[in-house]
Amino acid sequence: MSWPPIAWQTKLGRRVAVVIVLVLAACAPAPVARDITPPAMPPAESMEPAVRAQFGERRALLDRVLDDPEATDADVAWALGQLGRLFHAYRHLDQAQWCYAEAARLDPDMFEWSYLLGHLELVIGDADSARERFEHARSLRPEQPEPLTLLGRLARESGAFDRAEAHLSEALEHDEENALARYELALTELASGRAADAIERLRRLLEEQPDAFQLLHSLAEALRSVGRSEEARSILESIPASAIDRVSLISADPWMERLTALPVSVTAMQRRGRQALMAGRLPAAMRAFRKSEAVAPERRDVRFNLATALFQAGRGDEAESHLRYVIEHFPDFDGAHRLLGRHLLRSDPEAAKALLDQALALDDSIENHLALGDWALVVDDPVTAVGHYRNALAGTPRSEDAHVALVRALALDGDHDAAEHALAEAFDVLPAKRASTYLAPKPNRLTWMAVRFEATTAPQAARQPRRLPSQPRTPFELETAAMVRAAEGDFETALMLQRRALADYPHPAGDERLARYRTGRPAASPFAPTDRIRVSSRRAVAPSRNR
């Protein structure tokens, strides 16, 4: 016996079909009504348009998903997570935490929500919860070093050094170059009494990131912990005050990088631009500042920072219009007078002098004295320059910029004794190791200047082959290295180095030195008016506006 075939067109058939559909529908993962009330949005009317659009877009996405009967939990989690990331990026932490937590609850298999939530909880001091989030994230993506590194940090901070080391070692198995994991491992070694290992690890990291103050500080602490206090002191004292805390350890974290790239407000763009400027990434800085200018062309910091980036990029004429705008609308801001004055130094010294005088009248600051000193050198008046540099030093005795400028001005004035005396004073105040010891942990401009003096005013002392303070990179350092080699009689190397320097920065005094090396003569003097010594770009940037 067999069942009669069901004819779909019959009444019975239609009934059976309806039942099947209903059963299937009942078995399918049907959307359920979700009791989700998203956090309040920032007041839209006060936000910048671009930010408002960002929030509106992500909120609309969430609303659409919540209204969509076909949307799955993962869909809702995704939309919540995106909104959470935006809140996180704009530092609305309570709102971000709520969004991430909901997203992680609805889609526990998504690495990103747990990881970002752990990050956020770490920042607000909820270490236990953060640990759980990172453990979960690690279980989802065991190959990622980031959660392991943070688990290691948490373990170290709680005194569980063995566990910390295990986490960090595992992180390094996945990414042996991971700077943060290596740094954390060094701190763990230090905390667990293995200072020698920590010192070695920190030294290796410093070779890769020589400007990271965090590393220098930790190295000094490690040295101190084993009684090598003088070395520690030497390291700490060699760091210019301006550099402290400016350059942190750089370690890649793609999730956090994506997060920090999200904000588009003027404040965010300004921050991004400043960071780029300090890192010497001028095109990126200009891009960020131009975006700010498009939104807030009336803001002083926006126009000034853009001008600074343009000026440093050699586009002084473009910078000038922005500076003139700032001077017109914010006449009490000395920075614009100073920068415009610097721009006009050579093309219109008279106008430059007026601007720089005005800047000094507005603020009797080291920067303005330095600028006036530079102007005096341009008009071939080293005596006046020396006066300004001394004024700058009187106000800020530990300014490396001012010491460098003073030594150079005295040398240009032909008073090498005074210049060397000033250099000695600089080393007293900024006790980086003297050039002759070549032990400066991070050679600064003063060290290189001292090398120049040794190579030119005491050539006999330089006859012995010398180790340079570090690999020469800038034109100033390359030319200094050339002077040393020429003083040693190695003119072939000196010529090579001098050519490299001139390729980056052609100038008459450099050409003259090249000619001397060709004929087997060492450099005649340590400095010439056209020598360009690196000026700290940090000073040119408008300060951070917000905490």
Partner 1 sequence: MPRQSSFFTIAPAAFALLTALACSGGRPDQGSTRQAVLIERTETAGIDFVHENGGRGDFYYVEIIGSGGALLDFDGDGDLDLYAVQGAVLGTHDAGARGNMPRDRFFRNESSRTESSSTERQRNATSSLRFVDATDAIGLDQRGYGMGVATGDFNNDGWVDLYLTQLGANILLRNVQGKHFEDVTAQAGDGALAGRGMSTSAAFVDLDGDGWLDLYVVDYLRYDLASDKACFDMVGLREYCGPQSYAPARDSLFRNRGDGTFETITTSAGIDRDGAGLGVVTGDFDGDGRIDIYVANDQAPNHLWMNAGDFTFVEEAMIRGSAVDGQGRAEASMGVDAVDLDHDGDLDLHMTHLISETNTLYRNDGDGYFEDVSLQTLLGTQSLRWTGFGCAFFDLDRNGWLDLVVANGAVRADPTLRSDGDPFPYREPNLLFLNDGGQGWTEVGHTMPAFGPLHVSRGVTPGDLDNDGDLDLLVFNNRGRLQVFENPLRTANPWIGLSLIDRHGRDALGAKVTLRGSTGKLTRWLRTTSGFLAARDPRLLIGLEPVGLTPSVEVVWPTGEVETWSALMSDRYHRLVEGTGDPGAQEGRP
**Where on the chain is the footprint of partner 1 (CB under 8 A)?**
40-43, 46-48, 51, 89-92, 94-95, 97, 121, 123-129, 157-159, 187, 213-218, 221, 224, 232-233, 236-237, 241, 244-245, 248, 263, 265-268, 299-301, 332, 363, 365, 396-398, 543-547
Q: Which is nearer to partner 1, 2 or 546 (CB)?
A: 546
DSSP per-residue string spanning 43-82: -GGGS-HHHHHHHHHHHHHHHHHHH-TT--HHHHHHHHHH
| Distances 519 to 506, 523, 536 between C-alpha atoms, Å | 20, 11, 35
Q: Which is nearer to partner 1, 144 or 218 (CB)?
A: 218
Q: Which two tokens stand for residue 256?
A: 């956090």
Q: Which is nearer to partner 1, 169 or 214 (CB)?
A: 214
Nearest approach in angstroms of CB 410 to partner 1 is 22
Cα 390 from Cα 421, distance rounded (Å): 13
Report CA 311 to chain centroid distance, whole Å.
Answer: 20
Nearest approach in angstroms of CB 167 to partner 1 is 16
Among candidates 480, 484, 469, 481, which has minimal Cα distance to 528?
Answer: 480
544 with 271: CB under 8 angstroms?
yes
Q: Which is nearer to partner 1, 132 or 413 (CB)?
A: 132
Helix (H) / strand (E) containing 519: none
Nearest approach in angstroms of CB 274 to partner 1 is 11
Nearest approach in angstroms of CB 424 to partner 1 is 19
Nearest approach in angstroms of CB 214 to partner 1 is 4
End-to-end Cα separation, the chain, in angstroms: 85
Q: Which is nearer to partner 1, 70 or 332 (CB)?
A: 332
Nearest approach in angstroms of CB 37 to partner 1 is 13
Q: Which is nearer to partner 1, 379 or 439 (CB)?
A: 439
Nearest approach in angstroms of CB 231 to partner 1 is 12
Nearest approach in angstroms of CB 238 to partner 1 is 11
Nearest approach in angstroms of CB 126 to partner 1 is 4
Residue 178: what are its φ and ψ, rounded to 5°?
A: -55, 115
Q: Which is nearer to partner 1, 125 or 254 (CB)?
A: 125
DSSP per-residue string spanning 413-448: TT-HHHHHHHHHHHHHHS-PPPTTTT--SS--HHHH
Alpha helices, DSSP H, located in 141-178: 145-157, 161-174
Cα 472 from Cα 476, distance rounded (Å): 8
Cα 298 from Cα 235, distance rounded (Å): 44
Among candidates 535, 14, 25, 545, which has minimal Cα distance to 280?
Answer: 535
Q: Which is nearer to partner 1, 24 or 40 (CB)?
A: 40
Q: Which is nearer to partner 1, 271 or 466 (CB)?
A: 271
Nearest approach in angstroms of CB 135 to partner 1 is 15
HSE on the CB side for 75, CA within 13 Å? 15
Can you give the length of the chain in residues?
547
Q: Which is nearer to partner 1, 272 or 485 (CB)?
A: 272
Cα 184 from Cα 172, distance rounded (Å): 11
Cβ neighbours for 30, distance < 8 A, ≥ 6 positions apart: none
Nearest approach in angstroms of CB 87 to partner 1 is 8
Q: Which is nearer to partner 1, 50 or 351 (CB)?
A: 50
541 with 338: CB under 8 angstroms?
no
Helix (H) / strand (E) containing 513: helix 508-518
